[in-house]
Amino acid sequence: MIPAKKQNEETPHSSIPDEWFKPKEKNTEDAESVVRPSLSYWEDAWRRLRQNKLAMSGLIFLILLGVMAVIGPWISPHDVDTQNLPNQNQAPSLTHWFGTDELGRDVFTRTWYGARISLFVGLMAALIDFFIGVAYGGLSGYKGGRTDNIMMRIIEILYGLPYLLVVILLLVVMGPSLLTIIIALTVTGWVGMARIVRGQVLQLKHNEFVMASQSFGAKTKRIIQKNLLPNTMGPIIVQMTLTVPTAIFAEAFLSFLGLGIQSPFASWGMMANDALGVILSGDWWRLFFPAFFISATMFAFNVLGDGLQDALDPKLRR
């Protein structure tokens, strides 16, 4: 070995004071103090999410959208479905900020009303998926063996069903309404969540802390609630964030096909569909506002989901 030259140059051998060579009192705290101050899982995730500018702008957009969905229709002087035929197809102006449609209805008001519908459908779908998926996947993964096998066969078959076809079929039968849309979306939507939860549970199942609680006689339900779920929250949150845009897309898609929310209520998909009829006339605002808000909302949820995925991934923790 060659002596590390640099350090030796800085401090000549003889210049070190003799008393530095007295044995030190052993201090156990010293050994531990070397460790970096550790942040909690959530603090750390939040810190890393904040560094992701794209995800943060998505979050801010969604907050603003949520606020406007609540107060937008209220601050507008116009009603959602008040028809005003002399005022039809007007370009954006001081009275109608986003213009009017072919029945003279105010596009500004209808846009925020559509935001309500989209956000409601998206969040409800994510929530219901969450409850069903966690219950099903948690049970399947935790019980294991035969139960798991049968439950997973069922999932595999459900997974093979074409999602939107089933939804369309259900809507044809049940008739279009907000409630039926949400029901139809969640009938098959929870499968992905259940799979993720099961995978997580299987991974964690044999961890020491679960065995420890089992040996203390803890009940299955309690083990799932107290031990397993907190550890699986990361992937679940990400999945929920990504379910929302899927549901928003599905609602818009169905409304566009005429199977979604019905007039006089407004939904972005329906507004886009209505705009298709006047596409040749150059009334750009009819298409622009619903198209922009559907895309921007889905974009915001997607980048937020991506950001959360990176932020919550324990492998990427540093």
Partner 1 sequence: MEKILDIRDLHVSFKTFGGEVQAVRGVNLELYRGETLAIVGESGCGKSVTANSIMRLIPTPPGEIKDGSILFKGQDMTQLSDKEVRKIRGVDISMIFQDPMTALNPTLTVGDQLTEGLRQHRSISRKEADKQAMEMLTLVGIPNPVERMKQYPHEFSGGMRQRIVIAMALICDPELLIADEPTTALDVTIQAQILQLFQKIQKQTGVSIILITHDLGVVAKIADRIAVMYAGKVIETGTRKEIFYTPQHPYTRGLLHSVPRLDQKGEKLIPIDGTPPDLFSPPEGCPFAARCPMAMEVCTKVYPFHSKLSRTHDVDCWLQDERAKKYMASTY
Partner 2 sequence: MAKYILKRFIYMIVTVFIIATLTFFLMNLLPGSPFNEERTTNEAVQRNLEAHYHLDEPLVVQYVLYLKSIVTLDFGPSIKQPTETVNSLLGRGFPISAELGIWTILIALISGVALGVFAALKHNGVIDYIAMTIAVLGISIPNFVLATLLIQQLAVNLGVLPAATWSSPQHMVLPIVALATGPMAIIARLTRSSMLETLTQDYIKMARAKGLSPAKIIVKHALKNALMPVVTILGTLLAGVLTGTFVIEKIFAIPGMGKYFVEGINQRDYPVIMGTTVFYSAFLVLMLFLVDIAYGILDPRIKLHKEGGK
Which residues make up the interface to partner 1 (CB under 8 A)?
1-5, 7-8, 11, 13, 16, 18-24, 26, 28, 30-36, 48, 51, 318
Per the CB < 8 A criterion, the answer to whether 114 and 255 are in contact is no
């369309």: which residue's tokens?
168
Shortest distance, position 162 Cβ to partner 2, whole Å: 5
Binding site for partner 2 (CB under 8 A): 54, 156-157, 160-166, 168-170, 172-173, 245, 249, 252-253, 256-259, 269, 272, 275-276, 279-280, 282, 284, 287, 290-291, 294-296, 298-299, 302-303, 306
Of these partners, partner 1, partner 2, none, which one is at the site of residue 19 (CB under 5 to 8 Å by kind)? partner 1
Sorted by sequence, the CB contacts under 8 Å of residue 152 that are 6+ apart come out as: 140, 198
Please provide the distance, in angstroms rounded to a whole number, between the alpha carbons at the two ends of the chain: 33
Q: What are phi and psi of 106, to 5 degrees?
A: -80, 120
Shortest distance, position 28 Cβ to partner 2, whole Å: 38
Nearer to partner 2, 102 or 306 (CB): 306
Shortest distance, position 223 Cβ to partner 2, whole Å: 26
Helix axes 284-312, 53-75, angle to 10 degrees: 140
Q: What are phi and psi of 224, to 5 degrees?
A: -60, -45
Of these partners, partner 2, partner 1, none, which one is at the site of residue 94 (CB under 5 to 8 Å by kind)? none
Q: Which residues pair with 16 in a beta bridge?
A: none
Q: Enter the tokens of residue 114.
A: 């559509």
Q: Enter the tokens of residue 172.
A: 């044809």
Of these partners, partner 2, partner 1, none, which one is at the site of residue 2 (CB under 5 to 8 Å by kind)? partner 1
Of these partners, partner 1, partner 2, none, which one is at the site of residue 35 (CB under 5 to 8 Å by kind)? partner 1
